[in-house]
A = this chain, B = another copy of it.
Amino acid sequence: MATIYDVAKAAGVSPKTVSRVLNGDAPVNEKTAKAVRAAIDQLAYVPSNAARSMRSQRTGLIGMITGAISLSPGFEAAGLPDIYIVQGAQRVFAEHGLTLLIADTGNQASRIPELTQTFLEHRVEGLIHVAEFHQQIELPPNPRQTHVVLANCFDNQGTPSVVPDDEGGQLELVKGLIARGHRRIAYLMLPERMIARGLRLSGYRAAHKAAGLPVDPALTITGALSDRAHEFDLLWDALDRLLSLPDRPTAICCANDKMAMRVYAILRERGLSVPGDISIVGYDDYRIITEHLHPTLTSIELAYAAMGARAADRLLRLIAGTTQSDEPVIERVAGSITWRNSVADLSKVVTPFQMRRNDQ
């Protein structure tokens, strides 16, 4: 591949002049510059980043490690949208002329040190760890040779993090249901060990408190298991308990859209209509489900792309040294709610005919 010397020779100038044309860091006579550019085109010259970064100490690379980071495995991998975090971040970095290096742990936290080492060899200017679901992690005690930001996870070492606002999200969702006249709102929760479970439950309670409504413990039930086994039975039983309550709930919050999809099926099997007999909301706003289910499912997005972008922003500020001293270590990103047809508005009178029209 052609070098800057080849170009210099072809254009009849010194390499340094070619460099100046490329970087525009000093005035070059227009005629000379034209000759240089011609030589560059003719030789299809592409400057070497390796050589450049040796002098400048800037590689323009950012590392990203995805996949299960958790040192304690055992959760079913969501397997899905953490990739949107990557996309969100990539977009921001691209705008700043930075290129993203990515590596996946393939579910083995033990591989993190070697991947980090590789990135350090490439002299990344910063590193983002992305988890598959909101969780606490523990990074190997790596001497911090570079800037690190965590996305969709956090640690107890004070590493800057960007996570979903689970508490605020559930709060808004339940507030919205209350605003639509619902008073008995059930909540099918995530598996026990998941961080989001507790946070969302707090949000659920806070919404009740804000509206002066009591929280009935009979309405909050675990709706999913971490190991996936017997999940359908669990859900069936949970709904059984909810529906046989003396004062049946008018709405059910599901821990995610997948669960909502199953709840649809179970309710249908029992001859109950959504939202006629009972309203359903999901979580994640996983569009392929929410928009294509029938009726379309109300849900709140897990703002993955936004989290990726925010994490990237944060890393850029760390690199630039412009981080505000009063920035919180953990930054929460809220997603927005899309109200679709799975929720009945009990505060208005709705005839069956109107309802049917609304739905699709």
Contacts from A to B (Cβ < 8 Å): 1, 44, 46-54, 59, 61, 79-80, 83, 86-87, 90-91, 94, 99-104, 106, 117-123, 143, 145, 232, 258, 261-262, 264-266, 268-269, 286-289, 292-294, 360
Q: Which residues from chain B contact A52 at a C-beta distance below 8 Å? A: 121
CB distance from A82 to the nearest CB of B (A): 9
Q: Which residues from chain B contact A269 at a C-beta distance below 8 Å? A: 294
* Contact (Cβ within 8 A) B46 A50: no
Q: Which residues from chain B contact A100 at a C-beta distance below 8 Å? A: 101-103
* Contact (Cβ within 8 A) B145 A292: no
Q: Which residues from chain B contact A143 at a C-beta distance below 8 Å? A: 44
* Contact (Cβ within 8 A) B121 A49: yes
Known: A104-B87, A104-B94. A258 touches B288 (CB 8 A): yes
Can you identify 8 A-B contacts, CB atoms within 8 angstroms?
Answer: A46-B117, A48-B123, A49-B123, A50-B123, A83-B83, A90-B102, A269-B294, A286-B288
Q: Which residues from chain B contact A99 at a C-beta distance below 8 Å? A: 101, 103, 118-119, 122
CA distance in complex: A7, B83 (Å)? 39
Residue of B nearest to A259 (CB): B292
The listed residue (B46, B90, B104, B122) touching A49 by CB distance below 8 A is B122
